[in-house]
Amino acid sequence: MVDVAIVIVSYNVAPLLRECLKTVYASRDVSFQVCVVDNHSQDDSVAMVRREFPEAIRIENLTNGGYAYANNRGLERLLGPSTDENAAPPRYVLLLNPDTELPPYALQHMVAFMDAHPKIGVVGPKLVRPDGSLDLACRRSFPTPSVSFYRMMGLSRLFPRSRRFARYNLTFLDPNTPSEVDSVVGAFMMVRTEVIRQVGLLDEAFFLYGEDLDWAYRIKERGWQVFYNPAVVVLHHKGESSRGESLLVTREFYRAMWVFFQKHYAPQTFFLWRWLIFSAIFFRGGLAYLMNLIRPANKRGVH
């Protein structure tokens, strides 16, 4: 039985993917299997993986169907019926972005953490940027109407230590303390296979953002815990994998916020409050899109 089945979705990031795979295959004291799902890259990603990492399973999509779509194809491949009758499914599945780099014992430590805490369905590490700063997305609360409103109004930035206003990125928590959270980020998201069997795959209505939050929401609905484990530190070259796609990234970031709200909160939200939230998302998204249009290409991003 394999400890961890790893799905890495790639799109025009051959240099980052190479470094990511090097660190994955340097992992120690854990058994794992890697599936690279290419979302119709136009660079040499597919050829590079075939040439340098022949042991990896490859799925070559004929179109870019989005992050959730590609991960689901990998999950289906890794968790589907095996041609080996004696092969057991992996104990855990890891969604891993190609712009990450793992320390040698990251997988082993995460597996040990999950083994020691059977009520935890999902775990994520401390993600750090190349400059050493914390990637705030590595531990989050669900974007409830109030949490979303505080973020849209900028209150989470004004009061980063407030347990009321800073719930979106939980900046009031010690980044070096393990914590139960609502969600971790899909850049490194380890999930029990048993949980996936119960909850199902990612929702492909989300193209680029929000699918990890939605998955965590559905997993917690089933009674499982989601944990942030800072004992494992993973380097995240955040934004590098979407460089050159800033307008698409901006659009999908705000669209995902609306899709998540509509799916999980809109039915029980007063209509005037729904209208206010929609207006805030539309205004912030439109402003961010406009600012990206007029910014130099090297300074674009989600704001």
Q: What is the pLDDT of residues 10-53, one digit of tens each?
A: 999 999 999 999 999 999 999 999 999 999 999 999 999 999 99
**Residue 296: its pLDDT value, please?**
60
Domains and CATH numbers, the chain: 4-140+181-242 (3.90.550.10), 246-299 (no CATH)
Percent of the residues in the chain that have a pLDDT greater than 90, as a whole number? 72
- Inter-axis angle of helices 246-264 and 145-152, nearest 10: 150
In whole angstroms, what is the distance from residue 11 CA to residue 67 CA? Answer: 10
3-state SS of 135-203 is CHHHCECCCCHHHHHHHHCCHHHHCCCCCCCCCCCCCCCCCCCCEECCECCCCEEEEEHHHHHHHCCCC
Share above pLDDT 70 across residues of the chain, in percent, rounded to a whole number: 89
Annotate 6-17 with DSSP letters as a single string: EEEEESS-HHHH
Phi, psi for 19 (deg, rounded to 5): -65, -40
Look up residue 88 and give its two tokens. 């057991």
Nearest Cα residue to 173 out of 182, 157, 162? 162
Tokens of 138: 């590595």
Q: Over the stretch 141-184, which tens digit does the pLDDT of each residue have? A: 999 988 988 887 889 999 999 999 999 999 999 999 999 999 99
Least confident of 73-87, 102-116, 285-299: 285-299
Length of the chain: 303
Within 10 A of 278 (CB to CB), how many other CB atoms are there? Answer: 15
**Host H or E run for residue 92:** strand 92-96
Mean pLDDT, residues 96-112 taken together: 98
Task: Kindly report the average pLDDT of the chain as a whole number.
Answer: 90
Determine contact, residues 22/109, Cβ cutoff 8 Å: no
**Residue 302 — very low, low, confident or very high, per pLDDT cuts 50/70/90?**
low
Averaged pLDDT for residues 277-294: 70
Distances (CA, A) of 247 to 211, 255, 259: 19, 12, 18
Task: Return the top range by mean pLDDT from 76-80, 154-158, 196-200, 247-251.
Answer: 196-200
d(CA 262, CA 256): 10
Angle at 188 between CA 127 and CA 110, to 5 degrees: 90
The pLDDT value given to residue 3: 97
pLDDT band for position 303 (cuts 50, 70, 90): very low
The band of 277, judged by pLDDT with boundaries at 50, 70 and 90, is: confident
Taking the C-alpha atoms of residue 259 and residue 143, their distance in angstroms, rounded to an integer, is: 11
Q: Residue 83 above 60 pLDDT?
A: no
65: phi then psi, degrees, rounded to nearest 5 = -90, 5
Q: Say whether pLDDT at 7 is over 50.
A: yes
- Dihedral class, residue 210 (left if φ above 0, else alpha if ψ from -120 to 50, else beta): left
pLDDT band per the 50, 70, 90 thresholds, residue 294: low
For residue 275, the model assigns a pLDDT of: 75
Tell me the backbone φ, ψ of residue 60, rounded to 5 degrees.
Answer: -110, 100
Answer whether residue 78 shows pLDDT above 80.
yes
More confident residue, 253 or 245: 253
